[in-house]
Structure 1
Amino acid sequence: MQNAHVSGSGTTPALLPAPFATSQVILTKQEHIQLKQQANLWHAMWKAACGREKKVLAKNASLIAQHKAEMAGLNTQVADLKSELAHMKHLLFGRKSEKTSSSSKKSGNTTRPPSNRKRGHQPGVPGSGRHLHNNLPVVHESVDLPVDKQCCTVCHRPFKSFFNDDSCDVIEVEVKAHVRRYHRRHYQKTCQCPETPNITTPPPPPRLINKGKLGISVWVELLLNKYAYGIPINRQLESYKTQGLELSQATISFGLEAITPFFEPVAEATREFVASSDQWHADETRWISWAHETTGSHKHWLWVFLCDQAVYFSIADTRAAVVPESIIGDGAGTLVCDRYSAYKKLANDAVSINLAFCWAHVRRDFIDAQRGDPELEKWSATWVNRIGRLYHLRGVA
């Protein structure tokens, strides 16, 4: 039982020290030293353990921070991959962004208000009437009754014919392959002048290819059908067979190669005319061609440069800036193009040429930005509508 006493000024009891608190223990100095050493040892071990724990905690904190950073990077990479996947799916299965689709109309992504106007001729609007082909030559043909129908069917007395201009026009296209055979007349002199040859004949008709059997009209039709109307040569040759004319592919191929020098002055004049303009539209695309004599590569590029009145095409085995530099030369003006680096180098080398990037490519960037990222959809749609408005104003102007 613990002893307690009451102080004179209060009633709070005071606890007496424990029985062993006043007890004394007698130790030798050696035992005291050993106990102190053990206490110091355990204290040192405790401090070392605390230090290790702090290092482990710091290392764990660093690993946790590194893990969080890696997770953030992975999340960003996942978002980028999702956006890229959405873009690839659109390229593979989606509609072209330059074409009007029903989805764009439903989403309100258009610059023009919807209209209920039907296509075609509108009621109440006068038409243009039938087209009169007054530029075509007219071949007159008479149409008569058969002999047994030129009399009365009852008494068989003949009808009396009279003229009445009851004509009707029918447009016909007559295509027929034929051989034009020239017969040259020979002339023999009747004088004794030694300077004059005994027999004189007119020169043979001019030919596009020396000793060639095809006339100029055939080559004109082949070139127009191939380059103006996009009809392949082999399809034209099949068409000629229906007209009784059989030509081999080799004849046409060697013939086109033979007449190529005739077009070089025209091509150079076209290039000079395009280069003299102050505004161009340029683009290039991959073009598979016969192997080059020096490089042996089948991969070429078709370059096109367009001005107001002419178009110049060039097929080259390189996609470098030397091609537009060789075509435009020292021209001065504005070049409308995409953001390909060759055009940028051209503008850097020629300070008189300014680049105007195509709005269609810029529009695609805004459309691609909203795929896979819903936060950018509204912002991108705003810019697409602005560019569409710019298209509309340009078309009205």
Structure 2
Amino acid sequence: MNAAANLPDDIEALKAIILAQQEQNARLEALVAAFKQALFGRKSEKIGPDQFELALEDIETAIAQVETEGEAKPLVTPTRTSTPRKASRGSLPRHLPRIEEVIEPETTLCDCGCERHVIGEDVSERLDIIPAQFRVIVTRRPKYACRSCEGRIVQAPAPAHLIPGGMPTEATVAHVIVSKYADHLPLYRQAQIYSRQGIDLDRSTLAAWVGRAAFELKPVYDALLANLKRSTKLFMDETTAPVLDPGRRKTKTGYFWVLARDDRPWGGGAPPGVAFTYAPGRSGQYAEGILKGFTGTLQVDGYAGYNRLLKRPTQDIQLAYCWAHARRKLHEVAQTGTTPIADEGLKQIAALYRIEKDVRGQKPEARLSERQARSKPIIDAFEAWLTTHRARLSAKSPLGEALKYIAKYWDGLTLFLTDGRIEIDNNAVERSIRPIALNRKNALFAGHDAGAQIWAMLASLIETCKLNAVDLHAWITATLRAIINGHKQSDIDALLPWNYAQTV
């Protein structure tokens, strides 16, 4: 029996079905076209990956709504088929606990009066989620006394707690920190979530917990920053940090300066790490202060404030610049229309990136050898191209400004040809900044300079955990417990995230 047999005989009813089907198809086609454009179309470089993901989510949700509408109101009565449709949903992880429910027929008696027996079964699995579950840890410490004499009473000592006499466990405080600084959920929203489960916690109470944890975790943060500065190759960047200025009843602009280490592309042995530092401004003096004690290669963008580092009396820092920023200058020009000169520059930079993709993960010596053999001819040709077109173009034109930028930082842009450890761009530190931008959008601003520094400190520890594939909640909980139980300051490096990863 086919679907045509279920169609009505009335012409007007058939027209209504066709029109409804055409309308549904048109909506789906428009949504699919938007989905393809978002997924494969040209995107402005200003659109961040997280914003892009949000756009895809909304389009996919709208498509699912239209499809569900069609299933809920079928235009033609569906016919029963012999084989039910099987949806491919993948398999659920085996480590998840299973709660089985058996659904029995109303009766298992046969019409003949005999009891039916099981000949098989259909099994389906669905993912179930229980909202954050609260529980109370009750600690009892019995007191013991002797009936035969008047000896002293014996009782086990009270365990050390992060909040003496307070209600939260270290795991609870860790959950609040992860929710705020990793999941970008402000404290007042967390308080609202807890309230729905009958737990009345004021935002200021949660803030007090976070502040106490930040105080205890600061030695770990200091050890992280010191460890990074012992490296000879780091990335550095800065991003804005709006901070409330109560005196003026408005926000002021501070900055998060970020140091990052990621030696994985060249097989380095040092674990990846990130350290944010808050400063009230963007002057190069802040970068110089943060980098006190560091010597080596610093990979940065073209911000002029870093030039101050080259004037240190010891002259122990060299600056490697970012080809992604150079490319962006040409890309902005290319977006304005037909620009064969900019397009040619972009093609040469793309060729450099293809080589970098091939050498990623190789040892520094191998990377350097490949770059000398394959990248250096491209760089030499690019330099000649740059000199030729700078002589022909007005320095004040958009393309002239882009070429001037590249020429200004040429020595630092070509430094990757002399050291296999140096990356072609600064993207490693750019990726580290994204969570700060997300938290900034959700929290709007930091309430105080001190609060901004706490934000920077906890974000450093969290992002370093992510880079080392460490469970955030487990690490913060374990580290807080270790500190309050008297972990030695002289062995503080043992608490760094990458060392925790080696012990679990």
Interval of TM-score (by shorter of Structure 1 and Structure 2): 0.5 to 0.7
SS in 2 for 1:271: helix
Measured after TM superposition, the shift of residue 354 of structure 1 is 1.1
1:288 lines up with 2:251 in the alignment: no
TM normalised by structure 2 equals: 0.45
CA contact (8 A) 1:277 1:331 kept: yes
Matched, 1:230 2:184: yes
Distance 1:160 1:229 in 2: 52
Q: In 2, Cα distance between the equivalents of 1:174 and 1:97?
A: 39
Q: 1:258 aligns with which of 208, 212, 218?
A: 212
Q: Deviations over 1:213-235 (max 9, x none)?
A: 22223222222122222223333
Contact 1:271/1:327, CA 8 A, preserved across alignment: no
For residues 192-212 of structure 1, give each alpha carbon's deviation from its aligned partner in whole angstroms, at most 9, with x where no partner exists: 566x423x3444454321222
In the alignment, what sits opposite 2:307? 344
Q: CA deviation at 1:137?
A: 4.5
Give the corresponding residue for 1:37: none
SS at 2:278's partner residue?
strand
Aligned residue among 109, 116, 133 for 1:152? 109
1:197 aligns with 2:197: no
Over 3 Å counting, the alpha-carbon distance change for 1:156 and 1:323 in structure 2 is farther
- Deviation digits for residues 329-382 of structure 1, max 9, x if unmatched? 2223221112223211113215221111111222233456679998xx433332
SS in structure 1 of the partner of residue 353 of structure 2: helix
| 1:362 corresponds to | 326
State the shift of 1:169 in Å.
4.3
2:113 and 2:132 map into 1 onto residues whose CA distance is: 43
Structure 2 unaligned runs (5+)? 1-41, 48-87, 263-271, 360-504
**Which of the numbers 337, 340, 345 marks the counterpart of 1:378?**
340
Aligned residue among 90, 96, 114 for 2:44: 96
Alignment match, 1:133: 93
Look up the equivalent residue of 1:238 and give its one-letter code. Answer: Q
SS of residue paired to 2:294: coil
Hey, what's the Cα distance between the residues in 2 that align with 1:143 and 1:367?
Answer: 61
Distance 1:205 1:182, change over 3 A: farther
Q: 8 Å contact 2:229–2:291 — kept in the other structure?
A: yes
Query: Which residue does 2:167 correspond to in 1?
Result: 213
1: distance between equivalents of 2:240 and 2:92? 45
Tell whether the 8 Å contact from 1:176 to 1:243 is kept in structure 2 after alignment. no
Aligned-partner SS, 1:245: coil
Match of 2:258 among 278, 283, 304: 304
Aligned residues: 267
> Tell me, what secondary structure is at the counterpart of 2:276?
strand
> What SS does the corresponding residue of 1:298 show, helix, strand or coil?
strand
| 1:314 to partner: Cα distance | 0.9
Match of 1:184 in 2: 140
Q: How far 1:247 moved relative to its partner?
A: 2.1
Conservation of the 8 A alpha-carbon contact between 2:173 and 2:213: no
Within 5 A, what are the aligned runs for 1:50-65? Answer: none
- The equivalent residue for 1:391 is 353
- Please tell me the residue identity of whatever aligns with 2:93: H
| Structure 1 unaligned regions, length at least 5 | 1-93, 100-127
Q: Match of 2:168, as an amino acid?
A: L
CA RMSD of aligned residues (A): 3.8
CA distance in 1, matches of 2:158, 2:333: 69
Partner in structure 1 of residue 370 of structure 2: none
Residue 288 (structure 2) aligns with: 325
Contact in 1 for aligned 2:177/2:210 (Cα 8 Å)? no
Q: Secondary structure at the match of 1:172?
A: coil
Alignment CA distance shift 1:140-1:363 (3 Å): closer
What is the aligned counterpart of 1:275 among 214, 224, 229?
229
Compared CA separation, residues 359 and 161, structure 1 to 2 (3 A):
closer
Bigger helix share: 2
In 2, distance between residues paired with 1:335 and 1:190? 69
TM-score (norm 1): 0.56
- What SS is found at the alignment partner of 2:318? strand
CA shift in 2, pair 1:344/1:206, >3 Å = same
Post-superposition shift, 1:301? 0.8
Seen in structure 2, the aligned counterparts of structure 1 residues 160 and 389 have a Cα distance that, compared at 3 Å, is closer
Distance 1:228 1:145 in 2: 45
- The letter for the 2-side match of 1:145 is E
| CA shift in 2, pair 1:365/1:130, >3 Å | closer
Could you say if the C-alpha distance between residues 168 and 95 of structure 1 is closer, same or farther in structure 2, counting changes exceeding 3 Å?
Answer: closer
What is the SS of the residue equivalent to 2:244?
coil
Distance 1:369 1:219, change over 3 A: same
Aligned equivalent of 2:195: 241
The one-letter amino acid paired with 2:145 is K
- Provide the C-alpha distance between the structure 1 equivalents of 2:116 and 2:104, rounded to a whole number of angstroms: 11
CA 1:348 to 1:369, structure 2 compared with 1: closer, same or farther past 3 Å?
A: farther
Rate the CA distance shift 1:165–1:156 in 2: closer, same or farther, 3 A.
Answer: closer
**1:2-51 CA distance string (max 9 Å, x none):** xxxxxxxxxxxxxxxxxxxxxxxxxxxxxxxxxxxxxxxxxxxxxxxxxx
For residues 29-40 of structure 1, what are the structure 2 equivalents within 5 Å? none
